[in-house]
Structure 1
Amino acid sequence: MIKVLLYDDSNQFREAIALLLDGSGDFEIVGSFNNCETATTDISMLHPDVILMDIDMPNTTGIEGVRMIRQKNDSIKIIMLTVFDNNKNIYDAIRFGANGYVLKKSAPAAIINAIKDVFEGGAPMNSSIATQVLQMFAGMSPATQNYGLSEKEKEVLQSLVDGNSYKMVAASLKISIDTVRTHIRNIYEKLQVNSKSAAVAKALKDRIL
């Protein structure tokens, strides 16, 4: 069972997500709240695997919630949920460490698949959002530094950019998944990021590969 923690200020949407996930049999909703002001405390008490985070919430926005969570926890998976697929939200979500970005109007199956994907190490995005991410980084100047990545670390990073999960990276490079995790920890440290999506964003933005 994948343990899911949900933040959204719409009671109707939270109830719909709860029904969707409960009906699938693969998930457990460990918490459901209308704001993320106490997110770090909630995480320490509820131990979720994946967080579904609405962007537009009163008092503390989802973007602020991600930044707050990443100051304490760099391993938990966070998927942003929003009505709008605008560049500013996408950039901020990735910059602060979100692992995926899914529109609320997505089909129920797409939301379920996104949670499973991010749990397994993927970085789910709607096609419209993925297109905007590529457009955002298109035409940016090459990096002035290579961040000291080894050739193997670049191969791992390239595989992440290609959208592969940790298991797929291991299979394609013929290395163990533990070795993949070691390379990814080193990549995160060198790039000064704390999530797969942030590493991919930096690789694209700075033309590292």
Structure 2
Amino acid sequence: MAIRISIYEDNQPLRDALALLVQTTDNFELAGAYGDCLNLDQQMTAHRPDVVLMDIDLPEISGIEATLQLHRRFPDTDVLILTVFDDSDRVFDAIKAGATGYLLKKTPPARILEAIQEVYEGGAPMSPGIARRVMKSLHRSTAPHELDQLTPREATVLALLAAGNSYKMVAAEAAISIDTVRTHIRRIYEKLHVHSVTEAIAKYLTR
């Protein structure tokens, strides 16, 4: 089944290029391309995308505000931020709002397509520099008693996920099966009282 993708980008040439990229990729289906989020609820209800590519600097309603709305109203839809902004405040605000991944617009097209696939498969892709910032903040802000709840293997799995790896990539890196990765993730969720990778990272960032 094709992955349905909606695009929110106010730069029309870039929006058109992204739309064409999606339309010409096997197993991907364009579920709308828009210049703002003013009719977000209606568009989401009508087209039900699996993944949304979201710019941050949009007119009237920012991409971060829109991501928060999506996370609350359509929790099964993943939001992949695609923006020029790499400052920590926007990165963390987007993650806290519910974004599943965060890429910079200078990311090569092939990597954007890979990231969409990774998000769909349960990963949390990030541009390398963004992932490093998240990891540094995670180490600075995580309370010791929270870390103590996780086994060494669970901590490794969470760190790999926070760095933007898909379940498959985590399994390969940690030399375990994907089923084992899923088991560790379920236990991480239980210990941190969260329901997604994004929520686990956001909980770390707000401690």
Q: Where on the TM-score scale, by shorter chain, does this alignment land: which range?
A: 0.7 to 0.9
Bigger relative CO (Cα 8 Å, ≥ 6 apart): 1
TM-aligned CA deviation for residue 22 of structure 1 = 1.7
Deviates more, 1:155-164 or 1:100-109: 155-164
Q: Is 1:87 matched with 2:85? A: no
Q: Closer, same or farther in 2 for the Cα pair 1:169/1:104, shift >3 Å?
A: closer
Superposition RMSD in Å: 2.9
Q: Which runs of 5+ in 1 are unaligned?
A: none
Contact 1:147 1:191 in 2 (8 A): no
Q: Find the aligned partners of 1:159 and 1:60 in 2 and give their Cα distance.
A: 35
SS at match of 1:55: coil
Q: Aligned-pair distance for 1:76?
A: 1.4
SS at match of 2:80: strand
The DSSP-based 3-state class of the residue aligned with 2:68 is helix
Q: 1:1-209 residue pairs with structure 2 within 5 A?
A: 1-140=2-141, 142-143=142-143, 146=146, 155-156=153-154, 158-163=156-161, 164-167=165-168, 176=179, 180=182, 184=185, 187-188=188-189, 191=192, 193-203=194-204, 206=207
How many Å apart are 1:168 and its aligned residue? 5.9
Task: Quote the sequence identity (%).
Answer: 40
> In structure 2, the residue corresponding to 1:75 is in which secondary structure?
coil
In structure 2, the residue corresponding to 1:80 is in which secondary structure? Answer: strand
Q: CA deviation at 1:103?
A: 0.6
Q: TM-score, normalised by structure 1?
A: 0.80
Q: How many angstroms apart in 2 are the aligned matches of 1:59 and 1:21? A: 26
The TM-score, its normalising length taken from structure 2, stands at: 0.80
Task: Give the Cα–Cα distance (whole angstroms) in 2 for the partners of residues 67 and 84 of structure 1.
Answer: 18
Q: Which runs of 5+ in 2 are unaligned?
A: none
Query: Structure 1 75/165 Cα, relative in aligned 2: closer, same or farther at 3 Å?
Result: same
Give SS of 1:48's match.
Answer: coil
Q: Return the structure number with greater helix share.
A: 2
The number of equivalent residue pairs is 201
